[in-house]
Amino acid sequence: MPKYDPTKMADWQIAEAAEADMKTVYQLAEEMGLEKMELLPYGHYVAKLDYMSILERLKNKPDGKYIEVTAITPTPLGEGKSTTTMGLTQGMGRLGKSVISAIRQPSGGPTFNIKGSAAGGGLAQCIPLTDFSLGLTGDIDAITNAHNLAMVAATSRMQHEFNYGDDILASKNLRRLNIDPRNMNMRWAMDFCAQALRDMVIGLGGKMDGFLMQSGFQITVSSEVMAILSVATSLADMQERMNKIVVAWDKQGNEVTTGDLEVGGAMTALMARTINPNLLQTLEGQPVLVHAGPFANIAIGQSSIIADKVALKLADYHITESGFGADIGFEKFWNLKCRFSGLTPNVSVIVATIRALKMHGGGPTVAPGKKLDPAYTESHPELVEKGIDNLVAHIETVRKSGVNPVVCLNHFYTDSDDEVAVVKKAAEAAGARFAVSRHWEMGGEGAEELAHVVMEAAEEKPHFSFLYEDAEPLKTKIEKIATQVYGADGVTYSPVANQKIKKVEADEELKTLGTCMVKTHLSLSHDPSLKGRPKGWTLPVQDVLTFRGAGFVVPVAGDIRLMPGTASDAAYRRIDVNPETGKVVGLF
């Protein structure tokens, strides 16, 4: 691959230049050992894979090594998990290894807002960038439509029950559900950061214009439908889960599900194609599966179980990405995704940057769109040392699971040798292997050290175990996560949370489900202003959501919303189309 200079070229410019030489999906499929009908092309450079055919054909083939990528608590700029995932994939590829990675499809919210498309960066990216960033094969659109169809079914039923008597409902073969408009479990979905739609009143007008009620929107990737795509193991499993989604409660406090509304089948029909993973590639031509979505702070935030199972059959090494830091993304990978999949990971790569460690050590504020303080581009090993406790906390979390940790220092060209030495010493003292990776600047060549260390760690047998058992009470599960992963002294519960937890414990199915925490990604605690490794704090659980279809309950900690907001200097201001070539410019 040509060597582009990422210090002088934007990510989209590097991607555009590299795309001129990228492999077709037909070349990728041949290299992966796929049969002709297992490839479902969407043009020449993107495809879906027929997961059922692949898994059936290769059911007796041993799985490859399973590698997860997580991170320390990030700055608002992110610390490069996707970039590291691409770089490690390229690094292993340069060493002649059979390797596939899986990352999550970006949400339109951050793509058009601040964080960008999450394709990686510099010389470690997933391409084609425009397809990846702008809708891909339509999975998120299908999730939006399936989610909103459930809300259409609920709100139209409320209108008809309000307007018609039991005799008319019976003539239409409908039973009265008596949905309580003040007790909804779902809102509408949109895949943008639209704070103006968080809270609203719908149904204004006459009696044929809907049911008058308070409602609002959540971002699509926080939808239970997205969670189901992430954890489903087959179309039949997806269909069963889709009919279990709790849309609301009736006026007697009983659940009203998508099955009760007779909409789960139609939702599954909208989702049927999404269950096949999407195939793209790295800048250096290794296969990348893109499936399910981001936001581990407000969702499960994992690439899909199906993508992982397919890749483990097709390659000797499979690298999968989890959202945000190990307190959120890895914890959910560990206690939810691995529980559902039955897969045991060999290695977890913890991505760290000098920049983030300096922030955790008391460095100046890091904010999107603002120039970094010189403290982050000049050598200050003492500031790195002060922030190292955050890294140690994440190493300890991974080690609790029994998975072998590898700390990857995602190297910035401004990092000094003295600063790197501080991180290496701390990582190894905490029981992790350590590697410096310069993939952003050098691509796969710069990730060879990381690749060697990860492959060495993968040969060591993990001693994997879950943090909690299914049968433990919900409060016990929450408190184990809060104290043993986040470092809290304990947990407090609002009256609403306590009431909902009692309902969970009274339900034989719900009380055995997993626990998918919602909290800020910007701190180990619930408070984004608390950096480093906070001490002497208590986790406040404000609410508990029910995701019966996905298979977990969702405690909500602190002040966090399922619909983010768009900033004043949003990315959409710089995205455009070259009218001469038709190519999109300005993505990052």
Residues belonging to the active site: 81, 83, 104, 115, 296, 324, 412, 440
Dist. CA 361–CA 356, nearest whole Å: 9
Q: Tell me which residue of 396, 558, 554, 546 sits closest to 467, measured CA to CA.
A: 396
* Cα angle 188, 274, 120; round to 5: 90
Token duo for residue 360: 């955790």
Dist. CA 341–CA 42, nearest whole Å: 28
Dist. CA 14–CA 5, nearest whole Å: 8
Burial code (b: 16+ CB inside 10 Å, e: under 16) for 516-541 equals bbbbbbbbbbbbbebbbbbeebebbb
Q: Strand, helix or coil at 295?
A: coil
Q: Tell me which residue of 299, 280, 300 sits closest to 288, measured CA to CA.
A: 280
Dist. CA 39–CA 25, nearest whole Å: 8
Token duo for residue 161: 């029950």
Q: Strand, helix or coil at 224?
A: helix
Token duo for residue 230: 């992430």
Q: Check: CB of residue 307 under 8 Å from CB of residue 71.
A: no
How many CA atoms within 13 Å lie on the side-chain side of 207? Answer: 5
Q: What CA dihedral angle connects 49, 52, 57 and 58, to 10 degrees? A: 80
Whole-Å CA distances, 26 to 22, 149, 281, 315, 453: 11, 36, 12, 17, 32
Q: Check: CB of residue 25 under 8 Å from CB of residue 47.
A: yes
Which of the 8 DSSP states describes residue 484?
I
Dist. CA 73–CA 534, nearest whole Å: 12
Token duo for residue 5: 């200079």
